[in-house]
């Protein structure tokens, strides 16, 4: 037969930092450091059942009931904060009078760690909660790495897609992107105007001041296009000095003519590069979706191109809306 084992407070506190010693009269006479950390008010000398209650089984409400459940797994919760819960075991104390209640946070350990700022030093070295905390922390770090990697890959994917759809010099859409936008607008029967714009005297700028000046002019023209159009209009550079402009919802001829005149006026303003004045203008040819029973990309690009050549034939720096007459020029 095994003999009696008595433990001093320090030993109990090391093995069971959540222990509570309950006297025969139901008062808390001592408790582990971690248990005391949970309660900002003084609990030594308080009635056990005024600090904790047994949530399961529900019939336990006094010290005598506890004695009847020695060795059985019980569920406790704080009276003042029912979110703080424990599992526990009750055994008779060595003095034969009081009871020793050993508590554990169980599955709510993560909540307890967050709510009470607990560390590994607040648990018994043999408590599996420590292992679980390490696993949760490791999982959290791993998930953070995964999320960061996913975000980085998504950003790189978006950057690659944007680069693939963007003109490297001006930042406008390129021909591939333009074709995608055109397909979407036509397939979804969105009314729009398509304008083909070509810069006049651009070759003279390149020949006189060099390609750096030409690039500067193209970048400035792109800026003007952005300034004079709406955010949802589609602006594309499709050649050296050729641009295609899509104006969604714009099928009013007068408004289109006003917009074209404004673009011509702005682009005719001298563009200074390294002290040199680069003088250009632009010619535009346009067409509207409401000119067709069933518009196609090929037809609209062809007709806008025909209208552009009509503008060139008129002396440049003007706008022509496609018509049968323009097509014959």
- Could you list the active site residues? 241
Distance between CA atoms of residues 182 and 302, nearest Å: 14
Q: What is the DSSP string of 189-226?
A: T--EEEEEEEEETHHHHHHHH-HHHHHHHHHHHHHHHH
Q: Nearest to residue 68, comparing CAs of 55, 78, 57?
A: 57
Q: Nearest to residue 241, comparing CAs of 283, 178, 271?
A: 283
Distance between CA atoms of residues 192 and 211, nearest Å: 34
Q: Take residue 186 and report the two structure tokens written for it.
A: 């036509």
Distance from first CA to last CA of the chain, Å, rounded?
118
Distance between CA atoms of residues 2 and 4, nearest Å: 7
Distance between CA atoms of residues 233 and 193, nearest Å: 10
Q: Do 129 and 123 touch, CB atoms closer than 8 A?
A: yes
Q: Nearest to residue 244, comparing CAs of 207, 290, 295, 193?
A: 193
Distance between CA atoms of residues 112 and 202, nearest Å: 72
Q: Do 253 and 323 touch, CB atoms closer than 8 A?
A: no
Distance between CA atoms of residues 54 and 140, nearest Å: 33
Q: How many Cα atoms sit within 13 Å of 289 on the Cβ side?
A: 21
Q: Nearest to residue 101, comparing CAs of 37, 46, 30, 47?
A: 30
Tokens 């009314």 belong to 191
């Amino acid at each position: 037969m095994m003999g009696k084992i008595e433990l001093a407070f320090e030993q109990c506190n090391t093995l069971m930092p959540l222990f509570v010693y309950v006297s025969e009269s139901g008062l808390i006479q001592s408790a582990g450091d971690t248990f005391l950390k949970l309660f900002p008010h003084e609990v030594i000398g308080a009635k056990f059942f005024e600090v904790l209650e047994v949530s399961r089984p529900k019939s336990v409400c006094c010290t005598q009931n506890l004695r009847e459940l020695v060795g059985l797994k019980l569920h406790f919760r704080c009276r003042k904060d029912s979110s703080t819960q424990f599992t526990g075991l009750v055994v008779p104390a060595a003095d034969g009078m009081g009871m020793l209640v050993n508590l554990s946070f169980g599955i709510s350990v993560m909540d307890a760690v967050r709510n009470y700022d607990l560390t590994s030093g607040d648990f018994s070295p043999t408590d599996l909660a420590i292992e679980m905390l390490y696993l949760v922390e490791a999982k959290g770090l791993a998930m953070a790495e995964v999320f960061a990697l996913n975000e980085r890959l998504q950003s790189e994917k978006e950057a690659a897609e944007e680069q693939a759809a963007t003109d490297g010099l001006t930042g406008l859409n390129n021909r591939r992107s333009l074709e995608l936008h055109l397909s979407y607008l036509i397939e979804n029967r969105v009314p729009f105007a398509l304008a083909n714009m070509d810069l006049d005297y651009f070759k003279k700028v390149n020949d006189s001041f060099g390609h750096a000046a030409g690039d500067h002019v193209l970048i400035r023209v792109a800026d003007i296009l952005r300034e004079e159009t709406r955010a949802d209009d589609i602006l594309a550079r499709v050649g050296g000095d050729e641009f295609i402009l899509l104006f969604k919802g714009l099928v009013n001829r007068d408004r289109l003519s006003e917009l074209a005149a404004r673009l011509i006026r702005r682009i005719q303003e001298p563009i200074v590069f390294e002290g040199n004045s680069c003088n250009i203008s632009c010619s535009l040819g346009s067409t509207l979706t409401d000119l067709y029973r069933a518009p196609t990309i090929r037809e609209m690009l062809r007709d806008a191109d025909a209208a552009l050549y009509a503008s060139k034939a008129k002396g440049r720096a003007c706008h022509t809306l496609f018509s049968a007459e323009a097509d014959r020029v």
